[in-house]
Amino acid sequence: MPPDAHGIDYSRYRNAVLSYGRPVKSDWGVMRPQDFGVIELLDQLDAALKERQQAHESAAELLLSLRPIFRDMAEEAPRTGLRRWLALRGLDRPAAPVAVWLLGRYSTSTSTKRLAELADQPMPAAFARHYARTLRRLCLWAPLDKVAVKYKVDWCVRRQAEPRRVPPFSDRLKRFSANVDQSRAASVPERSRMPLWLSAEFWFRRPGKTAQAIREVLDRIRSLVHGA
């Protein structure tokens, strides 16, 4: 497949299995073909973002066009390649925020050690903002506090570290139910008996959402509909 209009050659990632073969052990962990592929993808993305920065152009269209491949990579979760790219290329590169965002998306509750260790390294303020969002999403409070102390002058980082009061789920459910259309409730013979399925591994092959994620989606829908 030839490079697209943005200069990103998707085939270099998709054909990584044929290009690199067997996994290789390294200081960052086992480097699978997908890990080598994501490194090359980030290198191309980094070069494209640098060109847009120098030309004072927006990179929104470029990043949006990469969403399908980011979703495909979620099944392989190339965390080792992302960690190695950040360690070798540095945290001040244009693609570093994208790399840490992907690393947070592909991490599980048992694979956040290397991600948390980044809090001890010096980083630019722009990267710290994305890193703080990732830490909050994964509930890594200890490294988030470290970053907040270093960049307390940055309101975005400081806001991520602030504790947020979350109303009880019963109150939020009542608030949501009050805005649900009940016009056809009488035609339903009985309550639904459909079980709620929860997955222990959130990012493994797109499983069902956790209870907390479902609650956040409901609150988000309500805020969009009612503007509250």
Nearest partner of 4 among 70, 57, 48, judged by Cα: 48
Highest mean pLDDT among 17-26, 45-54, 200-209, 212-221: 45-54
**In degrees rounded to 5, what are phi and psi of residue 224?**
-70, -35
Q: Give the model's pLDDT for residue 96.
A: 92
Tokens of 109: 């509750």
Q: Give the model's pLDDT for residue 97.
A: 92
- Domain ranges for the chain, please list them: 11-161, 169-179+193-226
Tell me how far apart the alpha carbons of residues 142 and 189 are, in angstroms, rounded to a whole number: 50
* Mean pLDDT of the 9-34 span: 61
Tell me how far apart the alpha carbons of residues 178 and 172 are, in angstroms, rounded to a whole number: 10
The larger pLDDT score, comparing residue 216 to residue 26, is at 216
Contacts of 210 (CB under 8 A, 6+ apart): 198, 199, 202
pLDDT higher than 80, residue 3: no
pLDDT higher than 70, residue 26: no
pLDDT digits (tens, 9 = 90+) for 76-133: 888 888 888 998 888 889 989 999 999 988 887 777 888 888 888 888 888 888 888 8
pLDDT band for 206, please (50, 70, 90 cuts): low
The residue ranges of DSSP E strands in 61-220, in sequence order, are none
Backbone φ/ψ region at 220: left (φ over 0), alpha (ψ -120 to 50), beta: alpha
Cβ atoms within 10 Å of 159's Cβ, excluding its own? 14
pLDDT higher than 80, residue 38: yes
Nearest partner of 37 among 10, 57, 64, judged by Cα: 10
Nearest partner of 146 among 127, 118, 124, judged by Cα: 118
The larger pLDDT score, comparing residue 114 to residue 5, is at 114
Q: Where are the alpha helices (DSSP H) in 55-78?
A: 60-65, 67-73
pLDDT digits (tens, 9 = 90+) for 145-191: 888 887 766 667 777 777 767 778 788 788 877 776 666 666 666 66
pTM: 0.63
* Mean pLDDT of the 29-58 span: 85
Average model confidence (pLDDT) across the chain: 76
Tell me how far apart the alpha carbons of residues 224 and 20 are, in angstroms, rounded to a whole number: 46
Q: Give the model's pLDDT for residue 175.
A: 80
Range in 32-36, 52-56, 92-96, 224-228 with the lowest mean pLDDT: 224-228
End-to-end CA distance of the chain: 46
Tokens of 133: 């969002």
- Total number of residues shown for the chain: 228
Q: Give the model's pLDDT for residue 15.
A: 47
Tokens of 38: 């994501």
Q: Give the model's pLDDT for residue 99.
A: 92
Nearest partner of 63 among 8, 132, 130, judged by Cα: 8
Tell me how far apart the alpha carbons of residues 195 and 181 are, in angstroms, rounded to a whole number: 22
pLDDT band for 228, please (50, 70, 90 cuts): low
